[in-house]
Structure 1
Amino acid sequence: MTLALEPVADPAAPLARRNPVAKLGAALLFSVPLIATLDPLTPAIALAVELCALPLFGVRLGVLARRAWPLTLAAAGILVTMVLFAADRTGAHLLSLGPFDITTGVVTGALGLVLRVFAVALPGIIVFATTDPTDLADALVQNAKAPARFAIGALAAFRLIPLLTEEWQMLTLARRARGIDAGRNPLAKLRLFASTAFALLVGALRRGGRLATAMDARGFDSTTPRTYARRQHFTKADTALLVAAAALGAAALTTSILTGFFNPILG
């Protein structure tokens, strides 16, 4: 199994066609207000807005669910942690799980954190599901004025990520062919996992060094002005996307304040 890093959205969708820097900036502007409060209402509103915007990005809900499955594991971990270690156990008592009392304060805190994880992470998932990595690197250099060495190096590293899964499989098969197998011993499995991960790390560092040398030899670190095969234009529609994202994020936070749910993270 390999990782799918290419865009999976409909390229003809209105917002999928926007400049990669504009989409990345919109995701950041929309997410910033969500980290200012601990209440569950703000991320719930933001999550509803994100789901409503999916058709405009050309992303199907099933595709989003497959890409966002790690968030479900994170949400489950947050829920368990809050139930076991929450300091705020005020509010009405709901039920008891052995020595742990579940109160409305625990439920509210856990719900706010879980919704915030999804609301903050989904914009980034949507951006990378609708953006070609090469276009993003070009836009960072052309529109955001990021250093070409950083942008192109990050693109090269991003392109090499699928090789890690292939190398892991090859290392596992090679060790199995040599008779190295942990069987059902959990400690042996842990040692085998650690040694395989170390071998993978060594291989990745060696490849990174060779790639950096090759890129320098081809003039990627040159101070000579660069030309671009694909121009990335920042239009008025891209500016409108940034403004709309900031306005929607502020509206979610304002709604929380006006309804009395606002719970500042500081103070």
Structure 2
Amino acid sequence: MSAADRGEQAPRGFLHGLNPLVTLAAPLPAMVGMVVVRDLATPALVAVAAIALILIGARPAPRVAAAIVIGIPVAVLVLGFSFSLWADPAALTASPAIVHIGDWRYTQAAALIGLATGLRVGALVSLALILGTSTTAATLVHAAIQHLRLPYRVGYTALAAFRFVPRFAVELELIRSAHRVRGMAEGRGPIAWLRRGLSAVIPLLAGAIRHAERVALAMDSRGFGASDTRTERTIVPYRRRDTVFVIVVLATTIVLFAVGGAIPF
């Protein structure tokens, strides 16, 4: 019997106990570095380190962990090949050809350029997932309001917008179920699929407008916007371990960039 079946919470890694602003700010230097590096080793090392940190520190669900471990390398290979096709062939004439079909040449230099670009994208996604797998939008908004002095009107408005997305998914499934009951889901092919999609637009927009009105009335009834500041029920503290995490991540970033050759010594 799993922990969820016994009513227990899944094990949480140490990243869940950190301030979300820390998990947002600590990877930023490495993300900026990914924009300027051009070698293969540095983004590969950064991506591996970020994925290892996610698996150890966030402890995502097995399905999410498998998607990260398998999906990111596959995406890197697909993007690498796609970007290599966009390389300027005139600038790569001196490179040996891997595939030669008529006048078209797929050169080794183009493959390396595409792979380097794909690795940088994969590293950026891996670094962004450090925040995405270890916190929620609500916790991030609370931390920004408390520590960055973000106006609570802006923060809670953004949080309300984030919560619209899962509600749209639920309402869309209800609309599709209603269409199936009424026999509107019959037919195959792109025309039938387009017709079903368009038939769900109006009910979905109507439901979104009704939900927005209810949210606005609920916020007005609670005095939202009546004062410049509001007290917070959920406190997101900044602890000593947050500072230690930032220092460790920055030091690791410097070491990885030095080992990869991006920082000459």
TM range (shorter): 0.7 to 0.9
Equivalent position to 2:141, from 128, 131, 137: 137
Q: Gapped runs of 5+ residues in structure 2? A: 1-8
What is the deviation of 1:115? Answer: 1.6
| Structure 1 residues 5-64: Cα deviation after superposition (integer angstroms, max 9, x where no partner) | xxx9733x3333111111111233332211122332221110121133235414258433
| Structure 1 residues 51-101: Cα deviation after superposition (integer angstroms, max 9, x where no partner) | 332354142584333368775785465345335433257222112467653
Q: TM (normalized to structure 1)? A: 0.78
Equivalent position to 1:218, from 219, 222, 241: 222
Q: Is the 8 A contact 1:30 1:248 kept in 2?
A: no
CA 1:217–1:45: 2 relative to 1, 3 Å:
same
Larger Rg: 2
> How large is the Cα RMSD of the aligned pairs?
3.2
Residue in 2 aligned with 1:113?
Answer: 117
Equivalent position to 1:256, from 247, 253, 261: 261
Distance 1:174 1:105 in 2: 55
Distance 1:70 1:237 in 2: 31
Residue 27 in structure 1 maps to residue 27 in structure 2: yes
Give the secondary structure class of the aligned counterpart of 1:16: helix
CA 1:184–1:68: 2 relative to 1, 3 Å:
farther
Q: Is the 8 A contact 1:138 1:232 kept in 2?
A: yes
| Structure 1 residues 187-241: Cα deviation after superposition (integer angstroms, max 9, x where no partner) | 3323432443464345334423431342133122232432122322112321232
Residue 59 in structure 1 maps to residue 59 in structure 2: yes
Stretch moving more, 203-212 or 131-140 = 203-212
Residue 149 in structure 1 maps to residue 153 in structure 2: yes
What is the deviation of 1:180? Answer: 2.2
Stretch moving more, 225-234 or 138-147 = 225-234
What is the deviation of 1:182? Answer: 5.8
Partner amino acid, structure 1, of 2:21: V
CA 1:234–1:115: 2 relative to 1, 3 Å:
same
| Structure 1 residues 149-176: Cα deviation after superposition (integer angstroms, max 9, x where no partner) | 2222222333343222221211112222
Distance 1:25 1:47 in 2: 17
Q: Percent identity over the alignment?
A: 27
Q: Gapped runs of 5+ residues in structure 1? A: 1-7, 261-267
Distance 1:140 1:40 in 2: 35
Q: Is the 8 A contact 1:9 1:58 kept in 2?
A: no
Q: Is the 8 A contact 1:50 1:122 kept in 2?
A: yes
Distance 1:242 1:135 in 2: 19
Q: Is the 8 A contact 1:182 1:189 kept in 2?
A: no
CA 1:69–1:150: 2 relative to 1, 3 Å:
farther
Q: TM (normalized to structure 2)? A: 0.78
Residue 15 in structure 1 maps to residue 15 in structure 2: yes
Distance 1:43 1:116 in 2: 5
Distance 1:190 1:79 in 2: 33
Bigger RCO of structures 1 and 2 (CA < 8 A, at least 6 apart): 1
Q: Is the 8 A contact 1:29 1:242 kept in 2?
A: no
Residue 189 in structure 1 maps to residue 189 in structure 2: no
CA 1:42–1:169: 2 relative to 1, 3 Å:
same
CA 1:194–1:108: 2 relative to 1, 3 Å:
farther
CA 1:9–1:23: 2 relative to 1, 3 Å:
farther
Give the secondary structure class of the aligned counterpart of 1:65: helix
CA 1:177–1:64: 2 relative to 1, 3 Å:
same
Give the secondary structure class of the aligned counterpart of 2:143: helix
